[in-house]
Amino acid sequence: MDIGDMRRDFESEGLDRDALDNNPVRQFQVWFEDAREAGILEPNAMSLATTGRDGMPDLRTVLLKYFDDEGFVFYTNYGSRKAREMEENPQAALLFPWIGLNRQVRIQGAVEKVSKAESLRYFASRPRGSQIGAWVSEQSKAITSRGLLEQKVAEIKRKFSDGEVPLPSFWGGYRIVPDARPWANSVAPGSGNTCPVAGLFARPLANPP
């Protein structure tokens, strides 16, 4: 299948480096709001790239749950393949593909497991259905049948029918802490299919060399 004819004009404002906030997290917040206002579906969906001991890159979608100066946090099953890879090699990359805005944000950084207390706080804030979902999620394994999955959901519902759903020991968060290398934003070509603008800006170093 030849899809070489698929093209559209990139009409966008491009990037003005002088207009970027020196604080990359504040800048990310501005872009995130842009994505939300533009109606981009699940603007918090991001690709998470990891590489385990075998050196083979892997990539999947996860949902960003919150971010601040400390980093970018998502939640997952600690028994998953991604979790294993991040234990083996605690570095990862994130990509927000906001194509509707001709924009992407790329982040590289160190991986930290969030504390149990933090996972607990987040877990407690989730709706009950999502809490049950966390118990049921056995990731990185083929789902053998829908019936089996439904059976598991029913089991968990029965088990915790009387009260709060506790935090599963195998479920929690990871924080990607952006490193001091430049964050690269954006294809965002200027108008008329001209050269791409690579807007790069560096995260201020906590301890400059």
Binding site for ligand FMN (CB under 6 A): 42, 45, 58, 60-63, 74-77, 80-82, 139-140
What is the nearest approach in angstroms of ligand FMN to the Cβ of residue 48? 8
User: Which lies closer to ligand FMN via its Cβ, residue 21 or residue 58?
Assistant: 58
What is the nearest approach in angstroms of ligand FMN to the Cβ of residue 83? 7
What is the nearest approach in angstroms of ligand FMN to the Cβ of residue 58? 6
Closest CA to 136 of 165, 104, 114, 102: 165
User: Which lies closer to ligand FMN via its Cβ, residue 24 or residue 173?
Assistant: 173
- Residue bearing tokens 């991604």: 82
- Which value, to the nearest 10 degrees, does the dihedral of the CA atoms of residues 96, 99, 102, 103 take? 0
User: Which lies closer to ligand FMN via its Cβ, residue 11 or residue 58?
Assistant: 58
Closest CA to 107 of 164, 154, 177, 20: 177
CA distance 165 to 24: 37
Closest CA to 20 of 79, 131, 105: 105
User: Which lies closer to ligand FMN via its Cβ, residue 67 or residue 75?
Assistant: 75
Beta bridge partners of 105: 96, 185
Q: Is residue 170 a contact partner of residue 77, using CB atoms and an 8 Å limit? A: yes
User: Which lies closer to ligand FMN via its Cβ, residue 171 or residue 203?
Assistant: 171
What is the nearest approach in angstroms of ligand FMN to the Cβ of residue 195? 32
Phi and psi at 28, nearest 5°, equal -60, -40
What is the nearest approach in angstroms of ligand FMN to the Cβ of residue 50? 8
